[in-house]
């Protein structure tokens, strides 16, 4: 799966960028209708900072994977339906 950097609009509740609500794809923002799954990896070992993942469904019904790196405050996107 190949990730590309993207812009994401988020809900910020008890923490910054708590979860995504829309993301930029092909030069336009796409609204998220459902967060299908979410998880994180790393964070315990300082050599592996935490990364947060969100499997989301767009308005068009397509699945995408968003990855958030809080250390650099960056988001990356992978088209979950696309086969590489």
Rounded average pLDDT per 10-residue block, the chain, 84 residues: 92 88 93 96 78 95 94 89 58
**Distance from C-alpha of 64 to C-alpha of 61, rounded to nearest angstrom:** 10
Which are the contacts of 27, defined by CB distance < 8 A and separation ≥ 6?
none
Is there a domain that residue 54 lies in?
yes
75 CB-side CA count, 13 A: 19
35 CB-side CA count, 13 A: 16
Is there a domain that residue 13 lies in?
yes
Is there a domain that residue 38 lies in?
yes
Q: What local confidence, expressed as pLDDT, does residue 11 receive?
A: 94
Q: How many domains does the chain have?
A: 1
CB 28 within 8 A of CB 7: no
Is there a domain that residue 60 lies in?
yes
Domain assignment of residue 45, given as a range: 4-79
How far is the CA of 5 from the CAs of 14, 21, 44, in angstroms? Answer: 25, 16, 25
Is there a domain that residue 84 lies in?
no
Is there a domain that residue 50 lies in?
yes
């Amino acid at each position: 799966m190949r990730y590309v950097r993207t812009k994401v609009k988020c809900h910020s509740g008890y923490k910054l960028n708590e979860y995504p609500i829309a993301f930029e794809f092909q030069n336009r923002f796409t609204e998220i209708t459902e967060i299908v799954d979410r998880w994180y990896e790393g964070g315990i070992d300082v050599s592996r900072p935490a990364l947060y993942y969100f499997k989301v469904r767009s308005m068009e019904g397509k699945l995408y994977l968003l990855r958030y790196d809080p250390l650099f405050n960056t988001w990356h996107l992978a088209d979950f339906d696309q086969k590489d």
